[in-house]
A and B are shown apart, each in its own frame.
Chain A
Amino acid sequence: EVQLVESGGGLVQPGGSLRLSCAASGFTFTEYWMTWVRQAPGRGLEWVANINQDGSDKYYVDSVKGRFTISRDNAKNSLFLQMNGLRAEDTALYYCTTKDFWGQGILVTVSS
Chain B
Amino acid sequence: QAVVTQEPSLTVSPGGTVTLTCGSSTGTVTSGHYPYWFQQKPGQAPRTLISSTNNKHSWTPARFSGSLLGGKAALTLSGAQPEDEAEYYCILSYSGDREVFGGGTKLTVL
Contact = CB atoms under 8 A, between A and B. Distances in A.
A50 interface: yes
A61 B103 CA distance: 16
Given A50-B99, A62-B1, A45 B46 contact: yes
Contacts of B104: 44-45
A97 to B, nearest CB: 8
B69 to A, nearest CB: 21
A47 B91 contact: yes
Interface of B: 1, 36, 38, 40, 45-48, 51, 57, 87, 89, 91, 96-104
A1 interface: no
Of listed B45, B51, B96, B103, residue having the most chain A CB within 10 A: B45
Given A45-B89, A47-B91, A47-B101, A103 B45 contact: yes
A54 interface: no
Contacts of B91: 45, 47, 99
Interface residues of A, number: 23
Of listed A47, A57, A60, A61, residue having the most chain B CB within 10 A: A47
B96 A59 contact: yes
Nearest to B90: A45
B90 to A, nearest CB: 10
> Which 5 residue pairs across A and B have the least CB separation, nearest first?
A47-B99, A44-B104, A45-B101, A102-B45, A59-B98
A46 B100 CA distance: 7
A50 B91 CA distance: 13
A95 interface: yes
A50 B48 contact: no
Contacts of A25: none
Interface string A25-42: 000000001010100000
Contacts of B87: 44
Given A50-B97, A99-B51, A45 B45 contact: no
A29 to B, nearest CB: 17
